[in-house]
Structure 1
Amino acid sequence: FGGFAHPGVISMVEDRLYLKNVSHPETFNLVAKRTIHEVAHQYWGHTLTAKPVAGASLFVEGFAKYTEAVVMEKLFGKSAIYELNENARSRYFSGRSFANTIEPPVYKVSGQGYISYGKMLTTLLALRDLIGEEKLNQVIKTITDRHRNSNKLEANTIEFLNEVYKVTAQEHHVLVDDWFKRVITYDLSLDKGSYRPLENGTYEVSVIVKAKRFQTLDTGEIKQIPINEPIKMGVFNTHQSKIKDDTALLYYQSHTINKEETEIKLIVNQVPKYISIDPFGTRSDENVVDNTFRF
């Protein structure tokens, strides 16, 4: 517990905020993270209050975690996104392993903190990668403006998804449904990474991407399902957990992954040190150690 947002006022606990030493530039700034999150609740939970039904926490904790991540990224770089998603991933998989009820999809969450504080963040950041930050912000603004001055609690996840569909290419509607309406997990990894210098001074990077996707059914059974979606690939001159600005990004683009095993070749202008599939953790992948290959 780090704080609580009242209308117009935020309360923060002393030992997990004011007494934190974040003076070292390499220290993850928990003071900023927790302050941003509680201020965000002035909008998500107060300005916009959802209908008290399954999925309502998307508009409270989901949007607050998303706001927290976007602002932290702008202040401290992509290393902040890496740290936040690592925490969200750990919380999600730890929570689901101890859950005594069948896991609901994101749009029907009802009290499952491991989803509200975990998977919701990675799902919203995956959606941002898919449609762009501007379009996702517009969706959130549209819903907020619609309910801003209403005394009725009507905002719901079906309304949210209908707005998302309007700004998402038709070919990706099924993927949006997978993320929000189904329980999907991934197993991504890289193998046989290499690079070679080219005559023009650039470098050709090659790697084998291995990708599996799984759906957890209402019965609790987990089955493998096909994969066909754009996923970010990154080549860096430092590990993604240390990236503060874009100078470390030698390559960062989406690739359509539609097979269990795919060879990818790409060109960079500097000697690469790391290559990674989903480097900032937008997919629910329990083991991310093998997502990154060090040359």
Structure 2
Amino acid sequence: MNSDEDRKKYGLPPKPEDLPEHRDPYGERTLLFADDADFIQFETVVSTIPSQIAVAPGYLEREWEDNGRRYFHYIQDTPIQAFFTFVSAEFDVLRDEAVMPDGSKVNLEIFHDPKHKYNLDRFLSAYQDGITYFSKTYGDFQFRQMRLMEFPRYSTFAQSFPNTVPFAESFGWVADFKDPDDFDYVYYVTAHELAHQWWGHQITPNYTRGSNLISESLAEYSALILTKRRYGKDNMKRFLKEELDNYLSGRSNEGKKENTFINTNRAYQWYYKGSLILYGLQDLIGQDAMDSALYAFNQEFGLKETPPFPGSYDLYRHLDAVTPDSLKYYLDDTWNKITLYDNKAEEVQAKRITEGEYEITLKVKSQKLYSDETGREENAQYESDYIDIGVFAAEDKDENGRTRVNPLYIQKHKIRPGESTITFKVKGEPVKAGIDPYNKLIDRLPDDNSIAVEIN
């Protein structure tokens, strides 16, 4: 009952891949929903030419050659969605292991062109870091193996199937990362695809408006958190700014309307807005509270084979349960409204008190705005919001040659709409200060959030 004729005959909705909104910035072509998927016991035999290795989901039971063909027999011994891929090429294989929280091992295999060994450590690190951390945080990884397969750049995407991720050559296999400050998109995208083993394969969303944020926003958020653990929270601005710019670009090109996030049906919201607001929520309520909500969400819906499957309101319910009343405004603003900020650092002065200690006087302007679905904006009426105020010393280089951000002061202040002047002390010579300096909020003009410090 999956043909176009059957769907019209029985009044079924169009398949997700036929909807123009169901497009992935990483090039994924099909986004799977529980109402559109069967769960199967998967077994396949794949043949290829003798020089190639054929890969499919499941565990390799046997391989052999016969009559000029090479055969591979795969069996997945637990039910999976009817969602699978086949890749065959002349591969070299990098084999290693990831360690689960209980000490058990997960076999890792990276199938790649023999000439493309440049960034194997980045792919491998994302798998090893992610399987350990995601299992500890969200619940155990459900397979005994995880694989990554390079394929030629005749198409550009990466896509997460059960324990198997085809990953295009153009997505970093031959990327040059000589500059230590380059965005490590290989690690980031690999972490995103791995996170789908939880958000998409352990939890499959239902087929309701907004539900795909469960797969994509949570995968993008999980990749952000894993990246923060690898590169440090004080170096997250480059990642958050990338997400913010992509969201603002997406909404500026919106051709119809922008729904609230809880009812989203646009990829620029699933990915970029979703990761920002989830990252911002954990920054407000704390990592432990956020982790407990996502763990409980997975405990309720993970590995379900029968309805009910979760939608966006189910995820919201779990997040709301761990959010203090004083911070619920943030959930409402980000999920049920379209909220933007105009934050600006207007003036900052530093007065030397003693050797190495300075009194900072920072003048900022802040305004929260609500937008309707057509983009018409109006100033929000509110008392104050919690917003980061930051002061930074000069940047330097870490042991890997990467530019290092050196915060002297990062604290959340309750900032009223309009102008505010904030005075506080720091130790260390300040060079830059501002409001929301890491771009955790959705600011229409984020580049004016920080300015140089004048020392008196």
- Which residue pairs with 1:106 in the alignment? 261
Residue aligned with 1:198, SS:
strand
- CA change 1:219–1:24 in 2 (3 A) is closer
- Which residue pairs with 2:436 in the alignment? 278
Residue 182 of structure 1: how far off its partner (Å): 0.3
Q: CA separation in 2, counterparts of 1:169 and 1:156? A: 23
Residue 244 of structure 1: how far off its partner (Å): 7.0
Number of residue pairs the alignment of both structures matches: 294
- Which residue pairs with 1:134 in the alignment? 288
- CA change 1:246–1:83 in 2 (3 A) is closer
- Residues 1:173 and 2:331 are matched in the alignment: no
Residue aligned with 1:226, SS:
coil
AA aligned to 1:137 is D
AA aligned to 1:248 is N
More strand by share: 2
Contact 2:234–2:406 (CA<8 Å) still a contact in 1? no
Q: CA separation in 2, counterparts of 1:291 and 1:77? A: 21
- The match for 2:393 among 230, 237, 243 is 237
Q: CA separation in 1, counterparts of 2:294 and 2:449? A: 31
Which residues of 2 match residues 1-295 of structure 1 at below 5 A?
Answer: 1=26, 2-78=157-233, 80-110=235-265, 112-151=266-305, 152=307, 154-199=309-354, 201-218=356-373, 220-227=375-382, 228-238=384-394, 248-295=406-453
Q: CA separation in 2, counterparts of 1:254 and 1:139? A: 23
Once the two structures are superposed, residues 195-252 of structure 1 have per-residue CA deviations (whole angstroms, 9 ceiling, x without a partner) of 0111474111111110011111245421111342111111111369x99799812111
Residue 178 of structure 1: how far off its partner (Å): 0.9
- Which residue pairs with 2:116 in the alignment? none
Residue 143 of structure 1: how far off its partner (Å): 0.6
Q: Which has the higher contact order (CA 8 A, sep 6+)?
A: 1
Q: Structure 2 stretches of 5 or more lacking a match?
A: 1-25, 27-156
Q: CA separation in 1, counterparts of 2:173 and 2:404? A: 31
- CA change 1:160–1:133 in 2 (3 A) is same
Residue 47 of structure 1: how far off its partner (Å): 0.8
Once the two structures are superposed, residues 47-70 of structure 1 have per-residue CA deviations (whole angstroms, 9 ceiling, x without a partner) of 111111112122111011111111
- CA change 1:139–1:244 in 2 (3 A) is farther
Residue 130 of structure 1: how far off its partner (Å): 1.2
- CA change 1:169–1:245 in 2 (3 A) is farther
Deviates more, 1:264-273 or 1:244-253: 244-253
Contact 2:368–2:417 (CA<8 Å) still a contact in 1? no
AA aligned to 1:52 is Y
Deviates more, 1:184-193 or 1:200-209: 200-209
More helix by share: 1
AA aligned to 1:53 is T
Contact 1:193–1:206 (CA<8 Å) still a contact in 2? yes
Residue 80 of structure 1: how far off its partner (Å): 5.0
Q: CA separation in 2, counterparts of 1:82 and 1:277? A: 13
RMSD, aligned CA? 2.3
- CA change 1:245–1:138 in 2 (3 A) is farther
Deviates more, 1:209-218 or 1:154-163: 154-163
Residue 145 of structure 1: how far off its partner (Å): 1.0
AA aligned to 2:332 is D
Contact 1:233–1:253 (CA<8 Å) still a contact in 2? yes
TM-score of the aligned structures, taking structure 1 as reference length: 0.93
Contact 1:79–1:244 (CA<8 Å) still a contact in 2? no
Q: Structure 1 stretches of 5 or more lacking a match?
A: none
Q: CA separation in 2, counterparts of 1:212 and 1:247? A: 27
Q: Which has the larger radius of gyration?
A: 2
Q: CA separation in 1, counterparts of 2:410 and 2:279? A: 15
Contact 2:395–2:403 (CA<8 Å) still a contact in 1? no
- CA change 1:274–1:53 in 2 (3 A) is same
Q: CA separation in 2, counterparts of 1:279 and 1:57? A: 30
Q: CA separation in 2, counterparts of 1:39 and 1:280? A: 26
Q: CA separation in 2, counterparts of 1:66 and 1:238? A: 29
- CA change 1:200–1:80 in 2 (3 A) is closer
AA aligned to 1:94 is S
Contact 1:69–1:80 (CA<8 Å) still a contact in 2? no
TM-score of the aligned structures, taking structure 2 as reference length: 0.61
